[in-house]
Structure 1
Amino acid sequence: MKIAVGCDHGGYALKEAVIAELRKRGIEIVDKGCADTSSVDYPDYALAVAEEVASGACERGVLMCGTGIGISIAANKVKGIRCAVCHDMFTAAMSAEHNKANIIALGGRILTPEQAAEMVGIWLDTPFGGGRHQSRVDKISAIEEKYFK
């Protein structure tokens, strides 16, 4: 598996912990930045990760900013991306099981690096539930087809 990771300055500490967790699992990492805590614009990193996932170059992505909100909004502008903001273990699991999220967004001002690493592990270990959830994901895809020209 190959996972793209990216963050702005508000998520940098989380990114380092997430990368360590992914490495422990033997997952190939595509690090799209940022490289330190200098102020940067989160849409740039959201787009870089979302393009990796949407193109199929990476199976999944993890994004981090101060809250996870802005970076997820930007990522969700890319067709084919289902980026979920997750703030706890439950939302991480449900984003995979119910929503088939291919990217999760985490908040560096909300989570500790240890929590973020654990959440990524839970997200990766939780299978998509299919069934009634598949029909809902299909409806999301239909919305994309209608509005993403």
Structure 2
Amino acid sequence: MKIAIGSDHLGLELKNMIRDFLKDKEIEVKDFGTMSKEPIDYPDIAKKVAKAVAKGDCERGILICGTGIGMVIAANKVRGIRAAVCHDLYSAERSRKSNNAQIMAIGALIIGSELAKKLVEVWLNSEFQGGRSEGKVKKIMEIEAENLF
């Protein structure tokens, strides 16, 4: 599995920790930045990660900013992407099982590194359950297709 990862300056330290955590588990990671504490606009990073996932260059993506909210809003603007903010284990699991989210966003100002590791593990180990959820995800994709102009 290849994971795209990115953060703004507020999420830099947590991004680096998650990147190293994944590499220690022998998971391939493509780091889209940022690489410094210099302020950066989160939509730029969200777009890069979301496009890498949408194009199939990476299977999933992880985004980190102050709250995760801005990153998720930006990532969800990329066609075909389903991104979810995950700050608890249940949401991380359900975002995959019920919504087939390919990108998770985390708020570095909201959670700590130990919870972040657990969230990433649960999220990566959860698979889409299909069934009724498949129809719901299809409807989300239909809404997206109807609103492309």
Question: TM-score, normalised to structure 2's length?
Answer: 0.97
Structure 1 SS opposite 2:21? helix
Identity of aligned residues (%): 48
Tell me how far apart the structure 1 counterparts of residues 128 and 97 of structure 2 sit (CA, whole Å): 4
**Secondary structure class of the residue paired with 2:129:** coil
Once superposed, which parts of structure 1, at least 4 consecutive aligned residues long, lie more than 3 Å away? Answer: none
- Aligned residue for 2:119? 119
Instruction: Give the alignment's TM-score, normalised by structure 1.
Output: 0.97
Given that residues 21 and 121 in structure 1 are in contact (C-alpha distance below 8 angstroms), is that contact kept between their aligned partners in structure 2?
A: no
Contact map agreement 1:4 1:30 (CA 8 A) in 2: yes
Please show how residues 1-149 of structure 1 align to structure 2 within 5 Å: 1-149=1-149
Q: CA deviation at 1:10?
A: 1.2
Which AA in structure 1 matches 2:130? G
Take 2:91 and 2:37, find their aligned partners in 1: how far apart are those partners? 27
Unaligned regions of 5+ residues in structure 1, if any?
Answer: none
Gaps of 5+ in 2: none
Name the CA distance, whole Å, in 1 between partners of 2:129 and 2:111.
Answer: 26
The structure with higher relative contact order (CA 8 Å, sep 6+) is: 1
SS at structure 2 position matched to 1:121:
helix
Corresponding letter in the other structure for 2:86: C
TM-superposed deviation, 1:21 = 2.1
Contact 1:17 1:116 in 2 (8 A): no
